[in-house]
């Protein structure tokens, strides 16, 4: 299962993340400012990908190189976001597979 989340900040900056089961961490698969950010958000919306607004998280993720995994310092924030998204989609009947194990990203 692939989980994708696009984060945006006032239509000025956007970062798209993708997580594939078995991968050590989600990757930054797209990022940009201005018109590029608008295109990332538009394409995500058209594809039915959840778009989450978080100025602080986008600012941190803009520092991650394209095609690089998110840094360990962001594991908890991203794991919580993906877990919340999974439960929202499951509640709407959009998911039929079990939730990914995000505990490996959290210090429990």
pLDDT tens figures, 83-93: 888 888 888 77
pLDDT of residue 102: 54
Q: What average pLDDT does the structure give for the chain?
A: 83
pLDDT tens figures, 49-76: 888 888 899 999 999 999 999 999 999 9
Map out the domains of the chain with their CATH numbers: 2-105 (3.40.1690.10)
Confidence of residue 42 (pLDDT cuts 50, 70, 90): very high
- Calculate mean pLDDT across residues 87-103: 67
Strand order in the sheet with 13-20: 27-33, 13-20, 2-9, 50-53
- Calculate mean pLDDT across residues 26-44: 94
- Residue 33 pLDDT exceeds 90: yes
């Amino acid at each position: 299962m692939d989980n994708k989340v696009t984060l945006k900040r006032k239509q000025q900056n956007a970062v798209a993340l993708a997580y594939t089961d078995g991968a050590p961490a989600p990757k930054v698969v797209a990022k940009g400012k201005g018109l590029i950010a608008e295109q990332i958000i538009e394409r995500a919306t058209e594809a039915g990908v959840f778009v989450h607004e978080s100025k602080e998280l986008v600012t941190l993720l803009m520092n991650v190189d394209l095609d690089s995994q998110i840094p360990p310092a962001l594991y908890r924030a991203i794991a919580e976001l993906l877990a919340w998204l999974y439960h929202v989609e499951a509640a709407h009947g959009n998911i039929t597979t079990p939730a990914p194990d995000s505990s490996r990203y959290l210090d429990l």
